[in-house]
Structure 1
Amino acid sequence: MNFIQRLKSDFTYVTGLMAILKYTEDITPFSENLLPDDWEKSVDAHSQNVAVIFDGQETTYGELDLRANKFANWAIKQGIQQGDCVALLMGNRPDYLAFWLGITKIGACCALINNQLASQPLAHCLNIVEAKILVMGDARWEQYVSAQSYLDVDVPAWVLGDIEGGHGNLETVLSNISSERPDKALRAGMQAKEIALYIYTSGTTGLPKAARMTHARCQTMLRSMVVSCKSIPSDRVLIALPLYHATGGLVAAGCALMAGAAIVLERKFSANKFWKIAIETSATNFVYIGEMGRYLMNCEITPDERQHKITRCFGNGLRADVWSELVERTGIRRVYEFYGATEGNVNLLNVDNKIGAIGRVPDILRKKLPTRVIKVDNQTEEVIRNQQGFCSETEANEVGEAIGKIDPSANRQRFEGYRDKSKNESKIVNNVFEEGDSYFRTGDLMRRDKDGYLYFVDRLGDTYRWKAENVSTNEVSEVLSSFEGVELANVYGVEVKGHEGRAGMAAIQLANEIDLAALWAYVRSELPEYARPVFIRILETENTTGTFKFKKVDLVKEGFDPNTIKFPIFVSSAEDKSYVKLTVDIFEAIQKGERRL
């Protein structure tokens, strides 16, 4: 980047940050202006505008608010009070938004539970937030039943729809509930530092953790993309991500609802139908996560990719190769890649379309954006300290962990953490650059180039050591995902008896049948020897979470034993120049050290 380019980029980032700060300057942890206040202001300004388009039906701001009021008044009749928690287990639909908006109107909070959960994980989500009531969409009753034996206390359940015998049919009850706005006195005395929502981590590394989402944090997320995307009332934001996810349910929803624009809401993402839906609904913007971009680009090129009205999109996790292809194939020039952990205080935004970057921290903004990349030990996951006992920032293009300075008095620098406080300690590192300072550990490895652009590399702990070398799972995954027929790839290390480190294993989801010999040759040509997966495992779609992430903790635990794993496993064979089926005989030979890896 030359001087003129740097100056232009600095100007873009400075003006962009200032615009966002001005739009959110009234949001403070100690303000009495809460999330439902922001919503009601938007309703009063845009009551006749369309708020949600769903299944061909349009719901206005005024209608959505009336529905939210009904939920609020119903909750009051159930004895829900300020500070209580009500849980929601529901698929995408307008009532999803109306419900949690209504619950926050009376000073209570709402736990947004992954609607795929059942049994112990579902019970855990209810137990950890001490939910008073669970409200479900139809077809969720069996999930609740499977969780009952794991509950700490009985949690009354209601279904918004028909179930056998009509038991707990909330829709029937709502017909007799007032749609008047609840008295604001019900949330009197509350400040924006109090909890509005609980949003759970995806569960890829264990049981879901309930992230504490304060009113201030939710307000910031709801408003965060309005300025950058230049949202206006005529916009239509296409959301095909689950609403229990912060990216879809808060950032994307707010991009529309805080601007008087409309949400085009889909029940779930469909790569084959995406562009057709975009055309039919006149969508102008959409939200993505990286895997979604990969799915879209794996589809055959069609005229629909160029016949839509979408001018920009935003989201996180879009890999550079997919990003370039998306822009070229669809004509969408403005891609706003952002980074932000649900529970953390590190927030980055790419505002100048630098492909592959998640944002930039120019030297001129280092005080305003206190995100740093520090040196860590990839194996122990401990920060590396110098002789003075402090941490050191990485050099240009050196990989390290991203951290964010904690300041309880600054809205964007607070660390709210998890409901289970025991989970918070490992996320904070103290005495980083000076005595007494504290930083939030993202657990994400990044690199910062000489111009200040930041790039996501991997999750800390998602690297493993094999043949005396560190292997980045994300980098190997990118290579595999580029092979024709591979829809998604998740890479991890598995322990092998008699070997130091971990052997690489890739769990892949296929779009169609693949030639294993061709894959073996491709891997050999694209990756160094130590990074080539030793094992390949074929997965079905149900092994991913609702946001297309793999449940890695389960995969690692299962290892590569063909006696216990029902899905096919293949092992690299130099003799066959292919990946061959891992039989029980081959497995035992590996365990005895009779087969070289």
Structure 2
Amino acid sequence: MGWIFAVLIALVALLLTKPGWRWFYIAGATANRDLTALWAYIKLLRYTKRHERLNYTVADVFERNVRAHPDKVAVVSDTQRWTFSQVNEHANKVANVLQAQGFQKGDVVALLLENRAEYVATWLGLSKIGVITPLINTNLRGPSLLHSITVAHCTALIYGEDFLEAVSEVAKELPAELTLFQFNNENNNSQTTEKDIARSKNLNALLATASKDKPNKAQVNHHDKLVYIYTSGTTGLPKAAVISHSRYLFIAAGIHYTMGFQEEDIFYTPLPLYHTAGGIMCMGQSVLFGSTVSIRKKFSASNYFADCAKYNATIGQYIGEMARYILATKPSEYDRKHRVRLVFGNGLRPQIWPQFVERFNVAKVGEFYGATEGNANIMNHDNTVGAIGFVSRILPKIYPISIIRADPDTGEPIRNKDGLCQLCAPNEPGVFIGKIVKGNPSREFLGYVDAKASAKKIVKDVFKHGDMAFLSGDLLVADEKGYLYFKDRTGDTFRWKGENVSTSEVEAQVSNVAGYKDTVVYGITIPHTEGRAGMAAIYDPQRELDLDAFAAILAKVLPAYARPQIIRLLTKVDLTGTFKLRKVDLQKEGYDPNSIKDTLYYQTSKGRYELLTPQVYDQVQRNEIRF
């Protein structure tokens, strides 16, 4: 009996140390989450491996859906209702026209067109002959537009007549050998107007006589480049991220299996189709899985659920600040009069998550996180409020993503004595990374067209010498159960009064208190002070904000060090394609009332916000007013 007692003592000692009783609690609490995700991951790998083995392209998979249900609606909008066969016929016409014009595999033809059925059909058609399509952000003008066309080494540009003026502005600076094709809307199908660019060809006229049969077979492969998608960040010129056929399949299939989408689902997205979320994650459900996708040319918060009801949508998509805009609308009969069972996207802030699902009676939220160019992609599939995904505590090496210790300002990894990176402990913020494995669509990093820009996103010698990982540049934190939460971008956190301040967390609270208005928070330098003080720019053109009430409520939800010291009430906003204010531009402008037309306020020692006049500004510079 003594040996049995000794074994029991040894087992208890083992459980209390490695892995310990707590491990079993965590394992029990997260087993269903992890096993559900594991099964989805297995289905995803099986899907991608099969298509790789068959050397399938995106067009091959789409044509399979065309054969299965040619008369089913693929894309629907206010003005269009295209079946799978219609999309395919238009795609074939585009391919035949461009092939007849001498374009071939490896050529690069940019697309600048609003959300419409022809958008999808155009890049699909180009892909059938091996032409790569940079998807140009429709908001770009001038130097940014010119840069996007030239950085991708385009040989042609297809643009809609709605962008005639934008293209005309840069036409003289475009390479002489670059061919321009203008696509006209239904009411101007094949006519040429005086405003047309002289060197531009009328695409509608060419399509009218083109064959709708499948083009001559081009040797397009599973791993060939498909499209370029531009990062829309808040700084610098756009960078063209490479999306191959294999990566398109992986992204669209990844969210399909993880979120449990079905072929009979009807999707609604008001997102631009040049964006990864709208163009791949959502439209990919039609292209690859045969679902119907309803689109809108421009996002409207007040019409979001009305559109969902009109199209009988079962799944809605959001991104960035969309959910906040929708929540800020007046109550409507469509708030609950819809069939939406799930909304998915990224950027639904935890501070409004419960209010959103309660008001609109949404059963499930699927929050995802990932960069267009990156391989560190995660999803929250079990409705955990605020989480953007998770890393398994039971099987952490199945999906090799990690949070490593790094400088929050520069994002530079903090290394140990051996020169290797260090994992963060639970609840310790760090930079999110994804291990790079060449040839694996879930782990490969294709980067940008610009090789130098790609190199900046790779960190080497991570956990062993010679290995590599994609460096996201985002600060995340994992709790004890492995749920991951977004903290901020590296460089966006700042230190004030000896405390680290997360701009994203402060933005969320300031926006809520200000009635869900557009808000951006950033750190500014003030003479004679340590660190950076918080400044909030709030879009309030009608001057509706009661600053006394605002300050009083803010004092209840934010600690003193996190409250903005200076407020700027914006009369106009410049948003990115993902509905983010351009933070760096505002940060550079600072808080000088002599050069800023917007009204500025500063927080007094009593906690109130008072007008920041040129006289007050001078007193701050002389250290006569202190924060």
Match of 2:596 in 1: 565
Q: What is residue 512 of structure 2 aligned with on the other side?
A: 482
State how 1:12-23 maps to structure 2 within 5 Å.
12-23=36-47
Deviation at residue 568 of structure 1 after TM alignment:
2.6
Secondary structure at the counterpart of residue 52 of structure 1: strand
Q: Which amino acid aligns with 2:37?
A: Y
Give the corresponding residue for 1:352.
382
- Take 2:179 and 2:571, find their aligned partners in 1: how far apart are those partners? 34
- Structure-1 residue corresponding to 2:107: 84
Of residues 463, 467, 470 in structure 2, which corresponds to 1:437?
Answer: 467
Which runs of structure 2 are paired with 1:22-61 in the superposition (5 Å)? 22-28=46-52, 32-61=55-84
1:222 aligns with 2:246: no
Q: Which moved more, 1:561-570 or 1:354-363?
A: 561-570
Deviations 1:89-110 (A, max 9, x none): 1111111111111111110100
Residues 50, 339 of structure 1: alpha-carbon distance in 2 compared, 3 angstrom cutoff: same
Match of 1:522 in 2: 553
CA deviation profile, 1:291-337 (whole Å, cap 9, x unmatched): 11111111233331111011112111111232212221222212111
Secondary structure of the 1:413 match is coil
Q: Which residue does 2:35 correspond to in 1?
A: 11
Q: Which position in structure 2 is the counterpart of 1:164?
A: 193
1:175 corresponds in structure 2 to 208
Which of 164, 178, 183 in structure 2 is aligned with 1:141?
A: 164
Separation in structure 1 between the aligned mates of residue 26 and residue 461 of structure 2, nearest angstrom: 36
Q: Please report how far the alpha carbon of residue 219 of structure 1 lies from its aligned counterpart in structure 2 after TM superposition.
A: 1.6
Matches within 5 A, 1:503-522: 503-510=533-540, 513-522=544-553
d(CA) in 2 for partners of 1:48, 1:248: 23
Deviation at 1:171, TM superposition (A): 1.7
Larger mean CA deviation between 133-142 and 503-512 belongs to 503-512
Superposition deviation, residue 170 in structure 1: 1.9
Greater displacement, 166-175 / 348-357: 166-175
For residues 562 and 169 of structure 1, the distance between their equivalents in structure 2, rounded to whole angstroms, comes to: 50
1:374 counterpart = 2:381? no
Give the deviation of 1:33 after TM superposition: 1.8
The CA deviation at 1:2 is: 5.9
CA distance in 1 between counterparts of 2:298 and 2:359 reads 23
**Alpha-carbon deviation of 1:20?**
2.6
The residue type paired with residue 482 of structure 2 is G
> Are residues 115 and 196 of structure 1, via their aligned partners in 2, closer, same or farther at CA, if it must alter by over 3 Å?
same
Change in CA separation of 1:266 and 1:569 when aligned onto 2, cut-off 3 Å: same
Q: CA deviation at 1:437?
A: 0.7
**CA shift in 2, pair 1:590/1:511, >3 Å:** closer
Matched, 1:199 2:222: no
1:529-582 deviation per Cα after TM superposition (whole angstroms, max 9, x unaligned): 22111222223564111221112222222222223323332222335x532332
Runs of 5+ consecutive residues of structure 2 not aligned to the other structure = 1-24
Amino acid at match of 1:397: N
Cα distance in 1 for partners of 2:438, 2:592 equals 48
Report the 3-state secondary structure (helix = DSSP H, G, I; strand = E; otherwise coil) of the residue aligned with 2:481. Answer: coil
Question: What is the deviation of 1:116?
Answer: 0.7
For residue 511 of structure 1, report the CA deviation from its aligned partner.
Answer: 8.8
Give the residue type in structure 1 aligned to 2:473: G
RMSD over equivalenced CA pairs, Å: 2.0
Correspondence for 1:532 among 560, 563, 583: 563
Quickly say closer, same or farther: Cα 1:580–1:73, change in 2 above 3 A: farther
Q: Equivalent residue of 1:71, what SS?
A: helix
Q: Is 2:304 the partner of 1:274? A: yes
Q: In structure 2, what is the Cα distance between the partners aligned to 1:151 and 1:327?
A: 48
Q: Does the Cα contact within 8 Å between 1:133 and 1:155 map onto a contact in 2? A: yes
Asked if 1:123 is matched to 2:156, the reply is: no
1:547 aligns with 2:578: yes
Q: 1:580 to 1:89 in 2, by over 3 A?
A: farther
Distance 2:424 2:176 in 1: 49
Q: How far off its partner does 1:154 sit? A: 5.6
The whole-number CA distance in structure 2 between the counterparts of 1:580 and 1:170 is 58
Q: Cα distance, 1:484 vs. partner? A: 4.1
Instruction: Say if 2:351 and 2:509, in contact at 8 Å, map to a contact too.
Output: no
Say whether residues 1:65 and 2:88 are aligned partners: yes
Distance 1:305 1:541, change over 3 A: farther
1:368-406 per-residue CA deviation (whole Å, 9 max, x = no partner) reads: 210000001113421111122211111111100110000
* Distance apart, 1:453 and its partner CA: 1.1
Match of 2:11 in 1: none
User: For residues 587 and 149 of structure 1, do their structure 2 counterparts lie closer, same or farther at Cα, with a shift above 3 Å needed?
Assistant: farther
Q: In structure 2, do the counterparts of structure 1 residues 229 and 383 end up closer, same or farther at CA, with 3 Å as the change threshold?
A: closer
3-state SS of paired residue (2:523)? strand
Unaligned runs of 5+ in 1: none
**Matched position secondary structure for 1:13:** helix
- CA-CA distance at 1:477 after TM superposition: 0.7
SS of alignment partner, residue 299 of structure 2: coil
Q: Say if 2:402 and 2:423, in contact at 8 Å, map to a contact too.
A: yes
AA aligned to 1:10 is: D
Q: 1:150 to 1:444 in 2, by over 3 A?
A: farther
Per the TM alignment, residue 119 of structure 1 is displaced from its structure 2 partner at its CA by 0.5
The separation in 2 between residues aligned to 1:27 and 1:320, in whole angstroms, is: 37
Task: Give the 3-state SS of the residue equivalent to 1:536 in structure 2.
Answer: strand
Letter in 2 for 1:145: S
Q: Cα offset for 1:56? A: 4.4
> After alignment, is 562-571 or 335-344 more displaced?
562-571
Deviation at 1:150, TM superposition (A): 4.8
Pair 1:237 & 2:267 matched: yes
Question: Structure 1 residues 435, 561: CA separation in 2 closer, same or farther (over 3 Å shift)?
Answer: same
Report if the CA contact (8 A) 2:27-2:394 is conserved.
Answer: no
Distance 1:284 1:56, change over 3 A: farther
CA pair 331-34 structure 1, distance change in 2 beyond 3 A: same
- Match for 1:181: what amino acid? K
| Percent sequence identity over aligned pairs | 39
CA separation in 2, counterparts of 1:2 and 1:295? 37
Whole-angstrom CA distance in 2 between matches of 1:222 and 1:519: 42
Deviations 1:502-545 (A, max 9, x none): 22111222496110122222222322222111222223564111
2:548 match: secondary structure? helix
Task: Please state whether the residue corresponding to 2:182 is helix, strand or coil.
Answer: strand
Q: CA deviation at 1:451?
A: 0.8
For the residues of structure 2 that align with 1:474 and 1:75, how far apart are their CA atoms? 46
Q: Is the 8 A contact 1:543 1:550 kept in 2?
A: yes
Cα distance in 2, alignment partners of residues 510 and 183 from structure 1? 56
Aligned to 1:412: 442
> How high is the TM-score relative to the length of structure 2?
0.90
Q: Relative to 1, partners in 2 of residues 1:480 and 1:416: Cα closer, same or farther, differing over 3 Å?
A: same
Aligned counterparts of 1:515 and 1:62: Cα–Cα separation in 2: 56
Tell me how far apart the structure 1 counterparts of residues 87 and 540 of structure 2 sit (CA, whole Å): 40
What letter corresponds to residue 72 of structure 1 in structure 2?
A
| Structure-2 residue corresponding to 1:109 | 132
**1:590 maps onto 2:627 in alignment:** no
Query: Given the superposition, is the C-alpha separation of residues 147 and 520 from structure 1 closer, same or farther in structure 2, using an over 3 Å criterion?
Result: farther
Q: For residue 358 of structure 1, what is the amino acid of its counterpart? A: I
CA change 1:44–1:298 in 2 (3 A) is: same
User: Could you say which residue in structure 2 is the equivalent of 1:94?
Assistant: 117
The answer for the alignment partner of 1:428 in structure 2 is: 458
The yes-or-no answer on 1:213 pairing with 2:237 is no
**More deviation in 240-249 or 355-364?**
355-364
Question: Which amino acid letter does the alignment assign opposite residue 258 of structure 1?
Answer: L
Deviation at 1:290, TM superposition (A): 3.5
